[in-house]
Amino acid sequence: MREISVFDVIGPNMIGPSSSHTAGALRIASMAHRLMDGPVKKIRFILYGSFARTYHGHGTDRALLGGMLGFSTEDRRIRDSFRLADEAGIQYVFECNTTEQDVHPNTVKIIAEDRYGKITEVVGESIGGGNARLRQINGVSVDIAGELQTVVVQQLDTPGVIAHITQCLYEEGINIAYLNVYRENKNEHAYSVIEADGELPASLAERLKKIPAVLQVNLIKL
């Protein structure tokens, strides 16, 4: 069990009104935003459970949009995120799904398209106290909190990729705290999620991308 910090109790510093419906929602969107390579153009948010029922009064919609605009949970611009998204030419729509029962009560699916037409789809859960977890990336089940320095590598499911990744981390002098590999079907796309102690250098992404089986690398530390 991770120890409880004084800042878990005196914190997080956040835009209200609800740690789970506002701050946690924003963290999901922030992670989605960081998984995108290109500038965001269109976003579809599908809200489930309590998110679907109370999103308006909790400003969950503004928080989600704020996360996709790259704002932190402390950013006062969250209140104005509709206007700021409009000004940035971003199209967005919120849909509610109140029929799906088999989901965590505070779940959102984000389907985002960048300027080049590339689509990133994530499912995230706001699990309380402003914390959140990503549960799916592009249909592949994952479990990512974004609390430590985290690298998400999208890769082909072929032999040798993990060896390459760990070699790169070794060469950069990075100590791995957790390494998880997620995939849906054999020989298709897989995701490696590496959580590390200390800072991750920018050079890591370039090093990882040197082999063709590594398709995309994103750093999602929040």
Partner 1 sequence: MRNFKNGAELLALCRQTQLPISELMMQREIKYFEGSRDEIEDRMSHAWEIMKESVREGQTEGNRSMGGLIGGEGHKVSARRMQGRTLVGETVSKAMAYAMGVLEVNASMGLIVAAPTAGSSGVIPGVFCALQEDFGFSDDEMVRALFTAGAIGYLITRNATVAGAEGGCQAEIGAASAMAAGAAAELFGADPETVLSAAASVLGTMLGLVCDPIGGLVEAPCQKRNAVGASNALVCAEMSLAGVESLIPFDEMVEVMYKVGRSIPYELRETALGGIAAAKTACELCGRCS
Residue 163, by phi and psi: left (phi above 0), alpha (psi -120 to 50) or beta?
A: alpha
How far, in Å, CA of 203 to CA of 214, rounded? Answer: 15
Tell me if 16 contacts partner 1 by CB under 8 A.
yes
The HSE-up count of residue 4 (CA atoms within 13 Å, CB side) is 5
Tell me if 101 contacts partner 1 by CB under 8 A.
no
Residue matched to tokens 């967005």: 92
Helix (H, G, I), strand (E, B) or coil at 171: helix
Tell me if 29 contacts partner 1 by CB under 8 A.
no
Tell me if 188 contacts partner 1 by CB under 8 A.
no
Select the residue interacting with partner 1 from 76, 159, 185, 212 (CB under 8 A): 76
Tell me if 7 contacts partner 1 by CB under 8 A.
yes
Select the residue interacting with partner 1 from 27, 33, 34, 62 (CB under 8 A): 62
Q: Which of residues 32-61 bind partner 1 (CB under 8 A)?
A: 50, 53-54, 56-59
Comparison of 127 and 179: residue with beta carbon closer to partner 1: 127
Comparison of 106 and 154: residue with beta carbon closer to partner 1: 106
Q: Which of residues 117-176 bind partner 1 (CB under 8 A)?
A: 128-130
How far, in Å, CA of 2 to CA of 153, rounded? Answer: 25
How far, in Å, CA of 76 to CA of 87, rounded? Answer: 17
Torsions phi, psi of 66, nearest 5? -60, -40
Comparison of 22 and 120: residue with beta carbon closer to partner 1: 22
Q: Nearest distance from residue 152's CB to partner 1, in Å?
A: 24
